[in-house]
Amino acid sequence: MSSNQITIKDIARILGISASTVSRALKNHPDISEATKKAVNELAKKLNYEPNAVALSLKHSRSNTIGVIIPEIVHYFFSSVISGIEDVAYDAGFTVIICQSNERYDREVANVKALLSHRVDGVLVAISKETHQYDHIFAIQDRNVPMVFFDRVIPEIETDHVIIDDQKASYEATKHLIDGGRKRIAHFAGPKNLSIGIERRVGYEQALKDANLPVIPELIIEADSFEKAIKATNKLLDMENPPDGIFAVNDLTAIGAMQTLQKRGIKIPKQIAVVGFSDGRFSGITDPTLTSVDQHGYEMGSVATKMLLRRLLNPNYDAPAQSHVLDANLIVRGSSI
Amino acid sequence: MSSNQITIKDIARILGISASTVSRALKNHPDISEATKKAVNELAKKLNYEPNAVALSLKHSRSNTIGVIIPEIVHYFFSSVISGIEDVAYDAGFTVIICQSNERYDREVANVKALLSHRVDGVLVAISKETHQYDHIFAIQDRNVPMVFFDRVIPEIETDHVIIDDQKASYEATKHLIDGGRKRIAHFAGPKNLSIGIERRVGYEQALKDANLPVIPELIIEADSFEKAIKATNKLLDMENPPDGIFAVNDLTAIGAMQTLQKRGIKIPKQIAVVGFSDGRFSGITDPTLTSVDQHGYEMGSVATKMLLRRLLNPNYDAPAQSHVLDANLIVRGSSI
DNA sequence: GTGAAAGCGCTAACAA
DNA sequence: TTGTTAGCGCTTTCAC
């Protein structure tokens, strides 16, 4: 398994010149004679010479590498984010190292360690749900490694971040139902200890208030899984005065609602309209198709990476931490109109 | 932005000893006195010293890094594979660099270049659909960098690989329909130029033959998108003698079929049973839930990585290329029983 | 126009 | 028990 990697030395030896000359010839240094350049470049090509990025990293104390810490790659949203990160990083000549925390604190700490050890030039982090202690994050800052948070933010930590305006998106979604004439809109809410749970609920309530509609506690049910949504929908339908619209905290619960409604003979959207919050690609394949908020994962990844590159590429750029808030817009489909 | 990374030299300087002593103390070398070890380790801890993986890579000509080239991370199957890769690699102390080809040949070539430049110790590749020329792959072999193919295989290239037994899985799926008493089973087929298209169709046909059922050309329709599935289903229903079962090449088309059937008042599975081939996580949230083949993406990633590690960790292991075929098993749900 | 030498951080053979 | 030195591949200053 002896490695066959060609080095500058190999080229130098073959051509009977020095390594430094080869190095210069390869970067088209003006001092080098055309003849030498030609010989070097031809041989390099012939031997499939590829500069050793590891040596370059060590030499320049810059690895041209970005580290990413993400909770779970298998979520459609997060994999879209990664796609956005990869594309932008790639265009800027950076390599991306992705680590999954699997929503675990200990794993996240290990990830940080690995990335720092690899001397990544910057990191993009979506903090795990389990993380409530931040020494490992401070370690990144201590080393002056630029960092951008995305999607999940820790208020105590001052660093660039890009998030979605969940509250506004929920407001829009609810308003869309109101504009469609709905007066009793239920909400399947997320957990109260998660910011998305809170933000989406606040947006919902605000839209009701702004339209002079009452916020009815019985119509707000904590339900963030498919099964819970089915139960919650049945509960709503069993009420004396059922809702005429449902705004669900995510698509999965919206789909649970739709199926239950249909099973009980309710017409969507005629009798009850349904709006979800996109976390998959289910919305296009339900029947009717599901009106939902598009979270723009790809854009989030690309924006976050650009924010990071801005600091990486201009070492004297030292503006204070920026907050970039993405608009998440409503995609209106069949379930609500 | 001056980097604050602590080095062995820093520790040596502070303690007034040599760098090599520090190095040895950190790895608990028996020659070093307890006192020195203690001092070094305490200071290292205090300063948050993290070994420079870049320097180690250069020194050892081993980067402890695995490169992955994958078509598109946003597919659930591929992101599951990555999860499997990450977990196994992580446990073995390896870092993973993921590159997306986006199903493009030029991008894949660039990915290989980047990974070779980073001197990854081994690579895991699922070749892009667009790739029909293999110089970049040969370049990997030329450098004696161990490589494992997963999911997509190039017969001409001899290297370890792990694939799914598509044919067998399709056979099982079709047989399951036959066992349920279905006699006219339609097939939504994938493109004829893709191995999954061919394999799945062959498995379907073989199951029919083994059960002495005729292979009816009109019941085999090329349909690998949601929209095509809807059209195809309508076409089937308009036949004089419609099918009593549908085996679809993927879940998306199976769902298209189900919706069309339901729209036209057909009961699933009573009148027509439907089976899909899993490429998402739709199967649990349809109504009825969808019987489908589980592709075991996570397992594929973990097996592929283990095959790679076997070569990386035992340099004298040089068995010929192995082929690992995973069983993809049928998950029976409501759409077929 | 080209070469020699030093150094990025770390390790290991060799000295002391 | 510890230090010195050389070297992994590359770049860059300084010499010639």
Band the pLDDT of A2: cuts 50, 70, 90.
Answer: very low
Residues B80 and B154: their CA atoms lie apart, in Å, by 22
Residues A323 and A148: their CA atoms lie apart, in Å, by 10
Range with the poorest average pLDDT among A166-175, B209-218, B271-280: B271-280
Select the residue of B96, B119, B256 nearest A52 (Cβ to Cβ): B119
Spatial CB neighbours of B17, under 8 Å, sequence gap ≥ 6: B36, B40
Options 3.40.50.10300, 3.40.50.2300, 3.30.1330.10, 1.10.287.3510; CATH of A166-295: 3.40.50.2300
3-state helix, strand, coil in chain A (%, to 5): 45, 15, 40
Q: Where are the beta strands (DSSP E) in chain B?
A: 65-70, 95-100, 122-125, 147-150, 160-164, 185-189, 220-222, 245-248, 273-277, 291-294, 323-326, 329-331
* b/e per residue B77-102 (b: at least 16 CB within 10 A): bbbbbbbbbbbbbbeeebbbbbbbbb
- Exposed/middle/buried for B17, CB within 10 Å: 0-12, 13-18, 19+? middle
| pLDDT of the residue at A1 | 36
State pLDDT tens for residues B194-203: 788 899 999 9
Q: Residue B51: its chain A contacts at CB < 8 A? A: 117
Are A143 and B119 an interchain contact pair (Cβ–Cβ within 8 Å)?
A: no
Percent of chain B predicted with pLDDT > 90: 83
Q: Long-range contact list for B23-27, CB < 8 A, 24+ apart?
A: B26/B51
State pLDDT tens for residues A278-317: 877 788 888 899 999 999 999 999 999 999 999 999 878 8
Residues B160 and B97: their CA atoms lie apart, in Å, by 20
| pLDDT of the residue at B325 | 96
Band the pLDDT of B297: cuts 50, 70, 90.
Answer: very high
State pLDDT tens for residues A241-256: 999 999 999 999 999 9
Are B100 and A83 an interchain contact pair (Cβ–Cβ within 8 Å)?
A: yes
Q: Is the pLDDT of residue A325 over 60?
A: yes
Are A48 and B144 an interchain contact pair (Cβ–Cβ within 8 Å)?
A: no
Select the residue of B4, B48, B52 nearest A144 (Cβ to Cβ): B4
* Beta-sheet strand order (sheet of A245-248): A220-222, A185-189, A245-248, A273-277, A291-294, A329-331
Taking CA atoms, B5 is separated from A105, B10, B50, B56, in Å, by 23, 10, 8, 15
* Separation in Å: C15 C1' and B27 CA: 22
Residues A68 and A97: their CA atoms lie apart, in Å, by 6
Question: Nearest nucleotide, C1' to the C-alpha of A21?
Answer: C2
Q: Residue A81: its chain B contacts at CB < 8 A? A: none
Mean pLDDT of A11-27: 93
| pLDDT of the residue at A212 | 97
Please, are residues B153 and B166 in contact by the beta-carbon 8 Å criterion? no
State pLDDT tens for residues A117-171: 999 999 999 999 888 999 999 999 999 999 999 998 888 899 999 999 999 999 9
User: Mind giving me the DSSP string for B50-78?
Assistant: ---HHHHHHHHT---EEEEEES-TTSHHH
Protein-strand D interface by C-beta, 7 A:
A 5, 7-9, 19-20, 23-24, 26-27, 51-52, 55-56, 58-59; B 16-21, 24-25, 31-33, 35-36, 55, 58-59, 61
Q: Which nucleotides of D are covered by protein (CB under 7 A)?
A: 1-5, 7-13
State pLDDT tens for residues A171-209: 999 999 999 999 999 999 988 877 888 999 999 999 999
Say which DSSP state B319 is in.
P
DSSP-based three-state secondary structure for B244? coil
Average pLDDT over chain A, rounded to whole? 93
Q: Is the pLDDT of residue B252 over 60?
A: yes
Mean pLDDT of B255-279: 94
| pLDDT of the residue at B191 | 86
Are A1 and B282 an interchain contact pair (Cβ–Cβ within 8 Å)?
A: no
Select the residue of A80, A113, A114 nearest B74 (Cβ to Cβ): A80
Residues A260 and A131: their CA atoms lie apart, in Å, by 36
What token pair was written down for A16? 């009977």
Minimal CA separation from B332 to chain A, in Å? 19
Residues A219 and B232: their CA atoms lie apart, in Å, by 42
Q: Is the pLDDT of residue B247 over 50?
A: yes
* Separation in Å: C9 C1' and A281 CA: 47
**Residue in A closest to B83 by C-alpha:** A73
Select the residue of A50, A263, A318 nearest B116 (Cβ to Cβ): A50
**Residue in A closest to B138 by C-alpha:** A48
For chain B, the domains span: 3-51, 62-163+297-326, 166-295
Are A119 and B2 an interchain contact pair (Cβ–Cβ within 8 Å)?
A: no
- Exposed/middle/buried for A93, CB within 10 Å: 0-12, 13-18, 19+? exposed
* b/e per residue B146-165 (b: at least 16 CB within 10 A): bbbbbbbbeeebebbbbbbe
Are A79 and B73 an interchain contact pair (Cβ–Cβ within 8 Å)?
A: yes
* Separation in Å: D6 C1' and A8 CA: 19
Q: Is the CB of A17 under 7 A from strand C?
A: yes
| Counts for chain A of helices (H) and strands (E), in that order | 12, 12
CATH topology of domain A62-163+297-326: Rossmann fold (3.40.50)
DSSP-based three-state secondary structure for B325? strand
Q: Residue A138: its chain B contacts at CB < 8 A? A: none
Domains A3-51 and A166-295 share a fold: no
Residues B57 and A2: their CA atoms lie apart, in Å, by 15
* Separation in Å: D15 C1' and A20 CA: 14
Q: Is the pLDDT of residue B86 over 70?
A: yes
Cβ atoms within 10 A of the Cβ of B72, count?
16
| pLDDT of the residue at A3 | 57
Q: Residue B74: its chain A contacts at CB < 8 A? A: 76, 79-80, 83
Are B98 and A96 an interchain contact pair (Cβ–Cβ within 8 Å)?
A: yes
Q: Is the pLDDT of residue B3 over 70?
A: no
Q: Is the CB of B58 under 7 A from strand C?
A: yes
Residues B167 and B205: their CA atoms lie apart, in Å, by 10
Q: Is the pLDDT of residue A38 over 80?
A: yes
Are A252 and B79 an interchain contact pair (Cβ–Cβ within 8 Å)?
A: no
Q: Is the CB of B313 under 7 A from strand C?
A: no
CATH of domain A3-51: 1.10.260.40
